[in-house]
């Protein structure tokens, strides 16, 4: 504060007197009130100091407890889960490599034992020539080379990931299995009807690890489970007459079974919905869709074929209330590579590529993830009976070797196609329309059990046929 000797009015008492100017507020105070003004300033300073000390304590508390922030906890959890995933991935990769190497060595040992038997047989018979010896040398050279390089294994990294992901690439040789020509009826086959030992135009099928059979019993508007070696089935969904109530079905075509959760997803085709039955409680997942085929990939995404819109859509688990993403077709009815015409059953492989029975185009078409068009992998040479043709395909499955199995409905046969091959081969049926054990009548769905036995939905004969694998 600065003093002044001239008399002026005091800001507080409003009397003329010797006053002093406050440099802060530029107001003048008499000798009585200047200490009072100074005391008020002191009080304000104390308040500021108190506020400062309080803020300082808060800063120290934040420093001390910053690790308890929710965001920090989330980062800690992410770190922990990521490390566990990396450890699990490494463990799975090691296990895969060891298993592959052991399988290769076992195969080599089998070949060696067979060769040894041939050598012993020649020694016993004492009847051999240069041709036999050259053959033995070549065979021994081959298995020696295989032993040096027992398995073609490499690691493929995914550079798109924040933490590089790896994949084990195993060189696989397809095993061209064969199945017995005559099938065994394992469900239905007692005439068309609605009794528990009968079926009526069955469509989709699922086989569990105990060889129990789950069937979409189309015209009976129900899902039926047929126990292994059972004489009749039991209704596990629908069966309450044709209708659109939640506890009713209307011409179901396909199913996805999750036994662990006692859940069944159903393509309820004539109700234009995908509905889930969970412990006998129903929930409509997708509305207003002309569904036919269902599939689920390893990440839990649900794929549904829409035969009227000629497309396949994908939904993320738990987000069925929003419109799905078109992953195949969606460009109107047609036979171009970016179109479909009445898609029926579908299959999704490990790479999320979708295989579609493009029924009215008489072909199976494969759409890779993110592709704008598909590639024909079976049929596509017009409707016909030749080995390079299909006629209204329905069911489709792809094995670990990329071999495609398809029910060639109007040709009454099941075919196997290998990608990039110009024609397929008949594996069962193909003996004309009929109800004999070596015949089929409009086959639709198909499935393998864990032993490799083939199950075919024989739609026209209202039965499920099992064709045993020939090892």
- For 107, phi then psi, to 5°, come to -65, -45
- For 319, phi then psi, to 5°, come to -120, 45
pLDDT at 168: 63
CATH code for 178-470? 2.120.10.30
Q: Is the pLDDT of residue 152 over 80?
A: no
Q: Is 429 left (phi over 0), alpha (psi -120 to 50) or beta?
A: left
The residue extents of the domains of the chain are 27-61, 76-171, 178-470
Quote the pTM value: 0.66
Over residues 427-455, the pLDDT tens digits come to 999 999 999 999 999 999 999 998 999 99
Q: Is the pLDDT of residue 66 over 60?
A: no
Range 352-373 average pLDDT: 97
What is the distance between the alpha carbons of residues 421 and 392, in angstroms, rounded to a whole number?
20
Residue 2 pLDDT class (50, 70, 90 cuts): very low
Percent of all residues in the chain with a pLDDT value above 90, rounded to a whole number: 55
pLDDT at 393: 98
pLDDT at 172: 59
pLDDT at 4: 42
Q: Is the pLDDT of residue 28 over 70?
A: yes
pLDDT at 68: 54
pLDDT at 18: 83
Range 60-71 average pLDDT: 62
Range with lowest mean pLDDT among 118-127, 214-223, 458-467: 118-127
What is the distance between the alpha carbons of residues 175 and 403, in angstroms, rounded to a whole number?
10
Residue 170 pLDDT class (50, 70, 90 cuts): low
Over residues 176-214, the pLDDT tens digits come to 889 999 999 999 999 999 999 999 999 999 999 899 999
Percent of all residues in the chain with a pLDDT value above 70, rounded to a whole number: 92
Range 72-88 average pLDDT: 83
Residue 3 pLDDT class (50, 70, 90 cuts): very low
Q: Is the pLDDT of residue 148 over 80?
A: no
pLDDT at 312: 98
Q: Is the pLDDT of residue 304 over 50?
A: yes
Residue 169 pLDDT class (50, 70, 90 cuts): low
Which is more confident, 87 or 461?
461
Average pLDDT over the chain, rounded to whole?
Answer: 88
């Amino acid at each position: 504060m600065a003093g002044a000797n001239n008399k002026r009015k005091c800001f507080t008492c409003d009397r003329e007197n010797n006053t002093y100017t406050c440099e802060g507020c530029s107001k003048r105070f008499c000798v009585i009130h200047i200490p009072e003004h100074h005391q008020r300033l002191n009080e304000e300073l104390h308040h500021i100091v108190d506020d400062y000390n309080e803020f300082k304590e808060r800063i120290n508390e934040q420093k001390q407890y910053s690790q308890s922030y929710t965001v920090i906890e989330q980062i800690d959890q992410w770190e922990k889960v990521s490390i566990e995933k990396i450890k699990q991935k490494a463990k799975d990769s090691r296990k895969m490599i060891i298993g592959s190497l052991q399988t290769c060595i076992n195969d080599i040992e089998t070949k060696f034992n067979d060769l040894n038997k041939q050598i012993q047989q020649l020694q016993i018979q004492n009847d051999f020539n240069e041709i036999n010896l050259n053959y033995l040398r070549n065979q021994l050279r081959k298995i020696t080379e295989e032993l040096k390089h027992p398995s073609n294994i490499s690691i493929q990294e995914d550079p798109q990931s924040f933490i590089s992901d790896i994949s084990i690439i195993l060189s696989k040789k397809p095993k061209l299995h064969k199945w017995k020509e005559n099938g065994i009826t394992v469900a239905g086959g007692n005439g068309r009807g609605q009794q528990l030992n009968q079926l009526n135009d069955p469509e989709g099928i699922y086989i569990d690890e105990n060889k129990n059979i789950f069937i979409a019993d189309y015209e009976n508007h129900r899902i039926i489970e047929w126990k292994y070696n059972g004489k009749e089935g039991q209704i596990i969904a629908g069966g309450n007459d044709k209708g659109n109530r939640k506890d009713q079905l209307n011409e179901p075509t396909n199913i996805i079974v999750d036994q662990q959760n006692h859940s069944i997803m159903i393509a309820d085709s004539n109700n234009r919905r995908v509905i889930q039955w969970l412990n006998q409680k129903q929930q409509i997942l997708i509305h207003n869709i002309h569904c036919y085929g269902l599939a689920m990939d390893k990440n839990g995404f649900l794929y549904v074929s829409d035969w009227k819109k000629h497309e396949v859509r994908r939904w993320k688990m738990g987000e069925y209330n929003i419109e799905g993403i078109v992953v195949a077709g969606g460009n109107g009815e047609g036979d171009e590579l970016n179109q479909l015409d009445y898609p029926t059953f579908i299959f999704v492989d490990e790479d999320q590529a979708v295989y579609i029975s493009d029924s009215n185009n008489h072909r199976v078409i494969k759409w890779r993830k993110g592709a704008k068009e598909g590639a024909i992998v079976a049929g596509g040479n017009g409707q016909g009976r030749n080995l390079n043709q299909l006629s209204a395909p329905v069911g489709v499955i792809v094995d670990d070797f990329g071999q495609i199995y398809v029910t060639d409905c109007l040709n009454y046969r099941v075919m196997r196609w290998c990608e990039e091959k110009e024609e397929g081969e008949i594996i069962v049926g193909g003996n004309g329309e009929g109800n004999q054990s070596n015949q089929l009548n409009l086959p639709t769905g198909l499935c393998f059990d864990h032993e490799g036995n083939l199950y075919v939905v024989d739609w026209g004969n209202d039965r499920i046929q099992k064709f045993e694998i020939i090892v």
